[in-house]
Structure 1
Amino acid sequence: MTTPLLARRSQPYQCSLPEPILAQAQRELFEVPDRRQTDIEHLRQWLCKQPHLRTRTDDWFLINFLRGAKFSLERAKEKLELYHSLKTHCPEMMGGGDPKDDMVAEVLRAGGFVPTPKPLPNGQRLVIIRVAARDTERVPQEVMFRVSNMISALLAEQDEASQVTGIVGLLDLKDATLAHAMSMTPTLVKKAVTCWDSFPVRQKGMHYFNTPTGMDPVINLFRSFMKEKMKQRLWFHGSDQSSLHSAIPPECLPEEYGGTLPSVNALAEEWVKRVEENREFFLDYMKYGVDEKLRRGKAKSAADLFDIEGSFRKLEID
């Protein structure tokens, strides 16, 4: 049975943004409603001339990339190219998965990446990221990243406002162990940051909470690969709940953080249902990527995309 998300792809885009968020899109993203369809069509025609890309071309998909690129057509093309290249060359993080797969289902239920239902006062969507939710003996870190990307893709499809307001993370490091830290190799972190950058999602920052002793090297490793503007959007609260509440009001937090929302586990169960209900969306999601044999010019490799050697040189200099 066709899901609503798949069915609407044959329909033209219809804006559902409330007036204040539409005004924000016009102000911050340079979105011009009268020009929106022309921009979508420009991207669609460009994609049709890229034989190596296996991609969606529906309005709903393309408007997301336009917003992620602040309606710069060239930047949107760059993001689309990178996004699809990573889906092929980094499938362990970007390939998606079947919600009925045992490993995917286990990670979903663990609640390691959980968007909360109540937007922050500025409209941003909060995502709870619990590092210790991963069983280090059973679940590779790459799978955690892959499932978090699946949830992010579904959130962007179902919550149009978040395309404009962006998301902010609460990274909870409670009970994180040395095994969690050791899995964050430079190569893995570089891949993760590159994949995040390819998503048409406005990343508005990260709040670190319950940071244990000895985690600084991992945090600094992530910082070394971040863009400068993202480095300015990191906030550290230690284990001080009052500090956290000064940045994120309790009515927007789960009960574990002194908030009034249901527990993270309860919210995770809701996301398990949402992902399972949209299984056809995720099966379709796995179809897209690139065919390097059809790429004009030199084919790309994972080394080209991640520039691992260059990144290592940078780390040695720093």
Structure 2
Amino acid sequence: MSSPTKVSEFPLDEEYKKKTMISVADIKKFRDWLDTQPHLPADSITDLDLILTYHCCDRSTGVAKEVLDLNLTLKTLFTNFFKERVVDDRILSTLNTVLLLPLEVRTHDGSAVLYARLIDYDYKNFTFSDAIRAVLMVVDLWQYEEGTWPGFVIVIDLDRMTLGHLTKLDIQTVQQFLYYLQEAMLVKLKGLHFLNAPSFMDRLMMLLRPFLKKALLDVLHIHQIGSKTVDPYVPMEGLPKDAGGEFKSFEQGQNDTKARFKANQDFFVQENKKRVVEARRPGKPKTISDIFGSVEGSFKKLDID
């Protein structure tokens, strides 16, 4: 990730040079289909958006169509995360509470790694839905800048998390985030790591487990306080200095993320246009109850090696 300045879209000609085996013809065909969907915002969907979708679906045209529709549908229905995404006092306050830091290090297979943790330890200042809102903004901006990744890994450092924080995790937000993460996020999710697991980790897992597919459970790793067991997955030296690595300090990372948001407000203005118009959807408009009524019929497979 570059310095916290205004970023530009990853060049398409460079994207087509990656080892994704995605061609211009593939995306042209995808675009032709998109133009036939009256409820989808075709004019706001970029070719890079289509490439990200096609890539995360292992170049399956049928799955890519379903996932793009679902991605845009959830961005419309999950208003806590996606409505009016702007760089305002709400989001900047969230970034004073949680550190969300794209790491420069990559995993052995080239997967991108997002590091997240608390930096304000007072649970009264923690709002879970706002934290997730910020996470998804960070990832969307990062993908816009870097294009496709071979995979995506999330590292959540639970250092200083308390039972007070756990009480702030509401079921609806947990369900919506984990559904979006596994079914509609335009990444190949390769791993989820919890560092510095607290004594009440079992309670946290009781909250998460009902919404985790087996494929994600298989790559979910819990690392005990002070252990270095994450190293075979994510090189320890790539973590922030305050977490035992050699990357930025927490304070530097926090300042850089806030500066990136402020410098790229236009990106989020444009991203807000990528929403579904349900009134134009062929057939019956979709609702949240429709979405969670069809969980058993999910189609996106996690890309687990």
CA 204–228 in structure 1, closer or farther in 2 if over 3 Å, else same = same
**Take 1:116 and 1:138, find their aligned partners in 2: how far apart are those partners?**
25
- Matched residue, 2:157: 172
Code of the residue aligned with 1:192 in structure 2: it is: F
> Quick check: 2:113–2:155 contact (8 Å CA) kept in 1?
yes
Give TM-score scaled by structure 1 length.
0.82
- Matched residue, 1:202: 188
Code of the residue aligned with 1:266 in structure 2: it is: Q
- For 2:223, which of 226, 230, 237 is the aligned residue? 237
Deviation at 1:16, TM superposition (A): 4.4
Deviation at 1:178, TM superposition (A): 2.0
**Take 1:257 and 1:120, find their aligned partners in 2: how far apart are those partners?**
17
- Matched residue, 1:313: none
Deviates more, 1:170-179 or 1:107-116: 107-116
Deviation at 1:254, TM superposition (A): 1.2
Deviation at 1:89, TM superposition (A): 0.8
- Matched residue, 2:300: none
Code of the residue aligned with 1:77 in structure 2: it is: K
- Matched residue, 1:14: 13
**Take 1:147 and 1:47, find their aligned partners in 2: how far apart are those partners?**
28
Residue 164 of structure 1: SS of its match in structure 2?
coil
CA 85–136 in structure 1, closer or farther in 2 if over 3 Å, else same = farther
CA 308–71 in structure 1, closer or farther in 2 if over 3 Å, else same = closer
Does residue 286 of structure 2 align to residue 300 of structure 1?
yes
> Quick check: 1:241–1:258 contact (8 Å CA) kept in 2?
no
Residue 304 of structure 1: SS of its match in structure 2?
helix
Residue 205 of structure 1: SS of its match in structure 2?
strand
> Quick check: 1:5–1:281 contact (8 Å CA) kept in 2?
no
Residue 235 of structure 1: SS of its match in structure 2?
strand
> Quick check: 2:41–2:273 contact (8 Å CA) kept in 1?
yes
**Take 1:248 and 1:187, find their aligned partners in 2: how far apart are those partners?**
30
CA 134–75 in structure 1, closer or farther in 2 if over 3 Å, else same = farther
- For 2:205, which of 214, 219, 222 is the aligned residue? 219
**Take 1:147 and 1:112, find their aligned partners in 2: how far apart are those partners?**
10
| Structure 2 residues not aligned, in runs of 5+ | 1-5, 297-305
Residue 282 of structure 2: SS of its match in structure 1?
coil
Deviation at 1:71, TM superposition (A): 0.8
- For 2:102, which of 110, 115, 121 is the aligned residue? 115
Code of the residue aligned with 1:245 in structure 2: it is: D
State the percentage of identical aligned residues: 26
Deviation at 1:297, TM superposition (A): 0.6
Deviates more, 1:257-266 or 1:74-83: 257-266
- Matched residue, 1:137: 124
Deviation at 1:135, TM superposition (A): 5.4
> Quick check: 1:113–1:148 contact (8 Å CA) kept in 2?
yes
**Take 2:30 and 2:175, find their aligned partners in 1: how far apart are those partners?**
28
- For 1:192, which of 177, 180, 183 is the aligned residue? 177
User: Whose helix proportion is higher, 1 or 2?
Assistant: 1
Deviation at 1:309, TM superposition (A): 10
Deviates more, 1:268-277 or 1:288-297: 268-277
CA 246–166 in structure 1, closer or farther in 2 if over 3 Å, else same = closer
| Structure 1 residues not aligned, in runs of 5+ | 26-30, 311-318
Deviation at 1:63, TM superposition (A): 0.6
- Matched residue, 2:257: 271
Code of the residue aligned with 1:233 in structure 2: it is: V
Deviation at 1:106, TM superposition (A): 1.6
- Matched residue, 2:57: 69
Deviation at 1:59, TM superposition (A): 1.5
**Take 1:244 and 1:164, find their aligned partners in 2: how far apart are those partners?**
20
- Matched residue, 1:314: none
**Take 2:65 and 2:161, find their aligned partners in 1: how far apart are those partners?**
38
Deviations along 1:242-286, whole A, 9 cap, x unmatched?
323344323211112221112133123222222222110101111
- For 1:153, which of 137, 140, 155 is the aligned residue? 140
Code of the residue aligned with 1:90 in structure 2: it is: F
Give TM-score scaled by structure 2 length.
0.86
Code of the residue aligned with 1:183 in structure 2: it is: K
Deviation at 1:308, TM superposition (A): 9.6
Deviates more, 1:149-158 or 1:273-282: 273-282
Deviation at 1:294, TM superposition (A): 0.9
**Take 2:7 and 2:228, find their aligned partners in 1: how far apart are those partners?**
42
Residue 230 of structure 2: SS of its match in structure 1?
helix
Deviates more, 1:55-64 or 1:192-201: 55-64
Alignment RMSD, CA only? 2.5
